[in-house]
Amino acid sequence: MKTKSKSVNILGIETSCDETAAAVVADGRIIKSSLIASQTKLHEKYGGVVPEIASRAHLEKIYPVIAEAMAQAGVTKDDLDAIAVANQPGLTVALVVGVIAAKTLSFAWGKPLIAINHLYAHLQSAMLSEDNLELPAVALIVSGGHTCLYDCRSPLELKLLGSTIDDAAGEAFDKVAAILKLPYPGGPSIEKAAEKGNPDAIKFPRTMLSPQSLDFSFSGIKTAVLYYCRGQDMKGEDKVDSMSRQQIADIAASFQKAVIDVLLEKTHRAAEKIGAKTILLGGGVAANNELRKRLQQMCNSAAPPKKLLVAPKPYCTDNAVMVASLGYHKFKAGLFADLTLEPAAMG
């Protein structure tokens, strides 16, 4: 009789920005728990994440969140096979809280420690429910801090093809939302406003850089929105307060379309370059319905059609499921860290 092999339980810890998250995942895909303590309310009034506030809030929440994630999963320390933690990239003062918690528990409980790259973990979210990943894949990561294209040969083999030379896509959404005086965080606010807008109302620039370039630049479009609202010389009156809801909606929809056009064109170029069979989409901006829809259309109309794998909505923005899930692959590959592990701002 064949004996069923014991499942591998990984505790994932994520504190790279403004979410304190912990999760327990079995065998890389069975989500036993996922806890996220969001700090949105704390940063709202500053219009962006304040590193010191983030760090202090992580410190306050990290152990209760881990304890609750284990309780909800119904596991004790004895059931855990390893502890995975996002140690890069992100805000160093935020990452350090998760890293110290993970190292402490690893030492106290005698469990192996696994270091996770937060961006690779975002990609892992797109692969959560896929059994037959057809490779090679092009992976597009669009978050608040990063916009990257990767050549993906396995969950652990990623080669950077291109990235932003200035603002990240999510950062552009957040900054344009601030210009339009829409609520923080900006991405979901722009998406909501854009639903009632005309995406062809205003022709904002699409910065493609050179014809073969796989890099991104979003600062031009952000500046174009700013000039549109305040005049070319920035001396004009801020027109946003006197704009109708429809005008705001038109700006939001036109901006969103311009950003998506650029993301699609670069993803298409990358897919052609490596002969991708699959496109993977992850990161906070991957929660955007219009982006998901248009990328699906692009994949369907490719010859031959490509498979699109998108992170499920709850796992687009920062979470620890993606950390634990990628931790499983590193566990299987025997890729462990030790207690000298440090946080690193750059990935």
- Binding residues for Zn ion, per CB under 5 A? 143, 318
Report in angstroms how near the CB of residue 128 gets to Zn ion at its nearest. Answer: 15
Q: Is 288 in the site for ligand KG4 (CB under 6 A)?
A: yes
Residue 21 — left, alpha, or beta (φ > 0 → left; ψ -120 to 50 → alpha)?
A: beta
Q: Interface with ligand KG4 by CB under 6 A: which range of 181-189, 193-201, 219-227, 296-304?
A: 181-189
Task: Kindly state the helix (H) or strand (E) to which residue 213 belongs, with its residue range.
Answer: none
Return the exposure string of 161-199: e unless at least 16 CB atoms fall within 10 Å of the residue's CB, then b. bbbbeebbbbbbbbbbbbbbebebbbbbbbbebbeebeb
Q: Does 167 bind ligand KG4 (CB under 6 A)?
A: no
CB of 98 or CB of 144, closer to ligand KG4: 144
Q: Return all residues near 294 (Cβ < 8 A) that are at least 6 apart.
A: 260, 264
Residue matched to tokens 């014991």: 6
Q: Does 285 contact ligand KG4 by CB under 6 A?
A: yes
List Cβ neighbours of 6 (8 Å cut-off, separation of 6 or more): none
Place of tokens 């993970």: 102
Contact yes or no for 8/27 (Cβ under 8 A) = yes
Number of residues that bind ligand KG4 (CB under 6 A): 20
When CB distances are held under 5 to 8 angstroms depending on the partner's kind, the choice from Zn ion, ligand KG4, none that residue 14 binds is none
Buried b (16+ CB within 10 A) or exposed e, 279-300: bbbbbbbbbbebbbebbeebbe
**Beta carbon of residue 171, minimum distance to ligand KG4 (angstroms, whole number):** 6
Contact 330, 300 (CB under 8 A): no
Interface residue with ligand KG4 among 162, 185, 199, 343 (CB under 6 A) is 185
Quick one: 66 or 123, whose CB is closer to ligand KG4?
123
Q: Which amino acid does the sequence have at 40?
A: T
Q: Which does 215 bind (CB under 5 to 8 A by kind): Zn ion, ligand KG4, none?
A: none
Q: Does 145 participate in binding ligand KG4 (rule CB under 6 A)?
A: yes
Contact status: 254 vs ligand KG4 (CB under 6 A):
no
Binding residues for ligand KG4 restricted to 296-335, rule: CB under 6 A: 317-318
Considering beta carbons, is residue 267 or 317 the nearer one to ligand KG4? 317
By a kind-dependent CB cut-off of 5 to 8 A, residue 147 interacts, out of Zn ion, ligand KG4, none, with none
Residue 16 near residue 91 (C-beta atoms within 8 A): yes
* Structure token pair of residue 168: 């990240």
Q: Which of 120, 150, 173, 216 binds ligand KG4 (CB under 6 A)?
A: 173
**Hey, which residues between 186 and 215 contact ligand KG4 (CB under 6 A)?**
186-188, 191
Q: For tokens 């692969």, what's the residue?
A: 127
Shortest separation between residue 338's beta carbon and ligand KG4, angstroms: 26
Please state the length of the chain: 347
Q: How far is the CB of 252 from ligand KG4 (least distance, A)?
A: 11
Q: Which residues bind ligand KG4 (CB under 6 A)?
A: 17, 143-145, 170-171, 173-174, 185-188, 191, 283-285, 287-288, 317-318
